[in-house]
Amino acid sequence: MLFPHRAGAGERLAAALRHLEGERPVVLGLPRGGVPVAFRVARALGAPLDVIVVRKLGVPHHRELGFGAIGEGGVRVISEDIVRTSRLTPQDLEAVERAEQTELARRARAFRGDRPRVALDGRTVIVVDDGIATGATAAAACQVVRAQGAAHVVLAVPVAPPDAVARLGEAADEVVCLSAPVAFRAVGEWYEDFSQTSDEEVVTLLARAAASARSPASIPVEVDAGGTALAGDLAVPVGAAAVVMFAHGSGSGRRSPRNRSVAAELNRAGLGTLLFDLLTPAEEGDRANVFDIGALAARLTGATAWLRRREPLAVGYFGASTGAAAALWAASAADADIGAVVSRGGRPDLAAGRLGGVRAPTLLVVGGRDPAVLDLNRRAREELRCENRLDIVPGATHLFEEPGALDEVARLARDWFVGHLTP
């Protein structure tokens, strides 16, 4: 099989990996040539893309023989057998590792810049290269990825020699190779265009993938809240680790520019969002429904169950006014399993008696010029037993309409949710 170029190889490889689409995989490209292939795979599967930087640790007097590998995050994989047979001293190991660690950090910074690594804990991870000759680097990458927390490691390449494919089955849980020709001499022979991939191209492709992941399209959904159908808007960035549910009880609904502004900030941080109203338009006309916090919390609990069936991710709650009370009430249930709660100008006093059962880390955000609600939130903190914090936005009134006030709310909520919902 002859591939026109790396992009074309990536398209063909993506088709062979479609069976993994439902596992929400992470795609990692080996630099440099593996990244253009991985970019097409990630785009086709709707998966996050990152670079996997590894450095082989070579025996000092026999560099092509590796006694281990290192990766980002302090990951270190060592073959004790090779260390012993090569008679390497601790000083030998330290010298080689120190030199390779410096190069590892340099290359990771050059390719990724200031962006954090994509978290791999518990994920299916697809390691992609443009081809394999000996397989030593690919094997090291699979070992490093597994040490970084991947639950299922897939190695995917367009072409490789049959013996390398067989060997790599020991390093990866699954190997997907489109072509394994017996008459294999070099990877480049199986491409019409195998021109060198530059560092600049790697940086550009990674940046394009990151920008795409930060800007998810919101889709309308019908939320099943325990038997009641509620209209909502769902946005889940590629690779999101969590979804924040916006609980609207009255006044500030899912179309509120204030809440949509906060949701956009969470999306840019890689978090999913679900904006929906806990009451139907007909129900909102009865003020008794607005203040029936137990019923609103039950709706939120039902909607959470629906969301988890659709998106099996960690869940956080963002609530305003009576919606904040409903969020705290729902989070106090023994089986709630909510990762974090943020209340914006909320009425936690309406969940009095339930606050002591909340286990999710809770952030209370109140305007400095909203004295009545500020007092209610201070009293609520005395009842909370979970990790909690009260942040006051200076000069802000109840609706945070002052210049910069809502931006501060969005920043505080983003940092709280990222800190408590993402690995």
Residue 250 — very low, low, confident or very high, per pLDDT cuts 50/70/90?
low
User: What is the sign of the dihedral through the CA atoms of 226, 328, 363 and 122?
Assistant: negative
Total domains in the chain come to 2
Identify the residue with better confidence: 297 or 137: 297
For the chain, helix, strand, coil in percent to 5 are: 45, 25, 35
pLDDT at residue number 348: 95
Q: How far apart are CA 240 and CA 422, in angstroms?
A: 9
Identify the residue with better confidence: 235 or 21: 235
Which residue range(s) make up the domain with 223?
215-421
Shared domain for 207 and 102, answered yes or no, is yes
Shared domain for 413 and 400, answered yes or no, is yes
Q: How far apart are CA 395 and CA 181, in angstroms?
A: 70
Shared domain for 193 and 332, answered yes or no, is no
Give the CA distances from residue 97 to residues 61, 83, 120, in Å, rounded to whole numbers and listed in that order. Answer: 15, 13, 24
397: which DSSP letter?
A: -
pLDDT at 79 > cutoff 70:
yes
The type of residue at 410 is: A
Residue 310 — very low, low, confident or very high, per pLDDT cuts 50/70/90?
very high
In a domain, 338, yes or no: yes
Shared domain for 225 and 269, answered yes or no, is yes
Of 32-46, 227-241, 257-271, 342-356, give the lowest mean pLDDT range.
257-271
Shared domain for 286 and 139, answered yes or no, is no
Position of tokens 């590796």?
A: 66
**pTM, entire model:** 0.53
pLDDT at residue number 399: 86
Sheet strands side by side (includes 75-78): 54-59, 62-71, 75-78
Q: What token pair was written down for 215?
A: 């800007």
Residue 216 — very low, low, confident or very high, per pLDDT cuts 50/70/90?
low
pLDDT at 215 > cutoff 60:
no
pLDDT at 36 > cutoff 90:
yes
Q: How far apart are CA 350 and CA 293, in angstroms?
A: 7
Bridge-based pairing state of the strands 340-344 and 314-320: parallel
Position of tokens 């305003």?
A: 320
Q: Among 213, 235, 250, which residue terminates a domain?
A: 213
Q: Among 164, 194, 213, which residue terminates a domain?
A: 213
pLDDT at 318 > cutoff 90:
yes
Shared domain for 201 and 323, answered yes or no, is no
Of 145-154, 298-307, 396-405, give the lowest mean pLDDT range.
396-405
Tens-digit pLDDT profile for residues 276-287: 989 888 887 787
Bridge-based pairing state of the strands 49-51 and 314-320: unpaired
CATH of the domain at 365: 3.40.50.1820
pLDDT at residue number 271: 93
pLDDT at residue number 242: 95
pLDDT at residue number 214: 59
pLDDT at 152 > cutoff 70:
yes
In a domain, 1, yes or no: no
Shared domain for 205 and 221, answered yes or no, is no
pLDDT at 263 > cutoff 80:
yes
In a domain, 44, yes or no: yes
Beta bridge partners of 71: 54, 75
Spatial contact of 362 and 336, defined as CB atoms under 8 Å apart: no
pLDDT at residue number 252: 60
Residue 249 — very low, low, confident or very high, per pLDDT cuts 50/70/90?
low
CATH of the domain at 149: 3.40.50.2020
The answer to whether the peptide bond before residue 32 is cis (omega within 30 degrees of 0) is: yes
What average pLDDT is seen over the chain? Answer: 90
> Around Cβ 353, how many Cβ atoms within 10 Å?
9
Nearest to 299 by CA among 316, 281, 282, 323: 323
Q: How far apart are CA 331 and CA 312, in angstroms?
A: 18
Tens-digit pLDDT profile for residues 365-387: 999 999 999 999 999 999 999 99
Spatial contact of 185 and 21, defined as CB atoms under 8 Å apart: no
Beta bridge partners of 247: 276, 319
Q: Among 167, 187, 213, which residue terminates a domain?
A: 213
Nearest to 422 by CA among 119, 216, 149: 119
Shared domain for 88 and 141, answered yes or no, is yes
pLDDT at 171 > cutoff 70:
yes
Nearest to 157 by CA among 1, 25, 50: 1
Shared domain for 233 and 166, answered yes or no, is no
In a domain, 166, yes or no: yes
Shared domain for 242 and 186, answered yes or no, is no
Position of tokens 């039950």?
A: 298
Shared domain for 200 and 302, answered yes or no, is no
pLDDT at residue number 64: 67
| Cβ partners under 8 Å of residue 292, min gap 6 | none
pLDDT at residue number 292: 92
Q: How far apart are CA 329 and CA 301, in angstroms?
A: 10
